[in-house]
Structure 1
Amino acid sequence: MSNGQENVQVYEPVPTSRYLADHPRGSYYTGDYKLGLNFYSFSHNLNSWMNGSTDGATPIDTMQVIRFAKDAGFDAVDVTSYYIPGYDNASMPTKSDREIFEYAANIRKLCEELGIAVSGTGVKNDFADPSQERRELDVKRVKYWIDVAAEMGAPVMRVFNGAVPQDIEAHGWEKIARERIIPALQQCAEYGASKGVVVGMQNHGDMVCTADQVIRILQWADHPNLGLINDTGFFRNFRDRTGLDYAWYDDIEAVLPYTVNFQVKRKPAGANTDALIDLDELFTRIRYSSYRGCIPLETLWVNGDANHPKDLNEPPFGQVADFLNQIRAASERTKTKSS
């Protein structure tokens, strides 16, 4: 009960331990994983290029990032749609279909020439917004960028569930999830299936913070073309600002049966915290699962960080390559099952 409203369902999470018990660990995988680069790792530099800015971070364009990824030893790139000229977070594209689809085709062509895969793409959306008009526009936008994903050869389209809306107290988490988020996800998943593109919702510290919330939404939506982008930096108690002191790895493991792609981040409790991810623990948990897809990394910076992109004379090539090397080393070390 809240604000004088009756029958508002308060969100009470199911313990992650119950979900882990429902999915006992399988055999231990000792093979290789494809490691990918999420383009948001160069967000400051790509935004400088997209905005035509001469201030701040050194500009770099999408094709240059792809070439860097190949040279650095990545197996794949996750080409976030933000960095396709004509993309807009709040409207349909600002450039013509011809320009956008030509650019997507050129991404695919370059990746084929270089011998690097496209592991996915993504858009910004808010399916929890109280405005039905806004949600309908976002569904329309996602469908458009699914077409673009198919053109560039991206097998997965990443979407958000949405920010916690102002009317959460009046309606409750479950009602908003069932009546706003799920219908939008189902429409996108159905359209993606017609184009050969899987839709992956990302846990992002918004309406979806816990393994329990991930699993409830995916089970309620019940669509074979809908899964999870497993974001290692955003598992936390619902509405908490950070994930400090949270059992991140248990949640990461609990949602592995639903995972269609990853975003591996340096800090599991959030970019504003200091705790660093234990990559050996992460890979050990993944190796006990059936996940065999790509594992992209995403580096983030906040104001005050050393070597922030805006303070460098070039894009953060070294920092990104170093994180890749750390991930590759952990993947290699965990090929042998520890006792």
Structure 2
Amino acid sequence: MPVQRRLLGCLNSTPMATPQFRLATNQTGPQCLLVSIPDGLFLGLGLVSLVENMLVVVAIAKNRNLHSPMYCFICCLALSDLLVSTSNALETTIFLLLEVGALAMPAAVVQQLNNVIDVLTCGSMVSSLCFLGAIAVDRYISIFYALRYHSIVTLPRVRWAIVVIWMASILSSTLFITYYNHVAVLLCLVTFFLAMLALMAALYIHMLARACQHARGIARLHKRQRPVHQGFCLKGAVTLTTLLGVFFLCWGPFFLHLTLIILCPQHPACSCVFKNFNLFLALIICNSIVDPLIYAFRSRELRLTLKEVLLCSW
């Protein structure tokens, strides 16, 4: 398999080595800690994400009470995460079959199939980040413009926003994969990630500050003790740290990889980071598994609907 031939590392560069950790010595630099990700782990993570996000999509589609703007964004996030993990697992499966000779394809067909999967993967990654930002914006409006929320965030506007996000994701991913060897492409992706991170951090921190201020007002009104609202703020801070921490931990290494390609493509220390690219992809798939736990399964009504789905009580 070619290693990192594309912007996304071609996604078919998953090593077949079974050891999880090993040290390798660069001829021109220090030792590198390499984390080998077996193909079976890619397939397993992809399967878990597929089942989990499919359940979210089915539950939201089944329950009409969940056909609200917020759940529309959550449903689209689940669909994006589903595509991220599925495309990774699909390409891993195809190239495994090609390696063992169980699948025979002309080189031209393999190339075209690889192009399609790369566009699908890149597009689903971009859309996943966009919908994470959209959920943050939706929650921000629901808190700071509560009285006008239903007039600002209407279902027609949400549908248009969803269509625009999907179309922009497909178009941008096609351009990214076509011009994957241009520095401008990497800069656009890194800038996009930093913009999403800054947007989410600013909105959620502002929401936490408002919630703590509201809790202090309620505590004064009811003459409660100070530790009450401090405990509330601490709980909110933990939730915020978890939310942003998971986002940065899962997506940050991938975009660090892209940044280092721009800054130091030939430096031995950067080469150590490049060798762990498959780990960064695995973290993105892990994010696809964690997202439903953070954004979907915390809803009691969605959990009840999911229980009905699992019990086949249609």
Structure 2-normalised TM-score?
Answer: 0.29
Between structures 1 and 2, the one with greater helix share: 2
Between structures 1 and 2, the one with greater strand share: 1
Structure 1-normalised TM-score?
Answer: 0.27
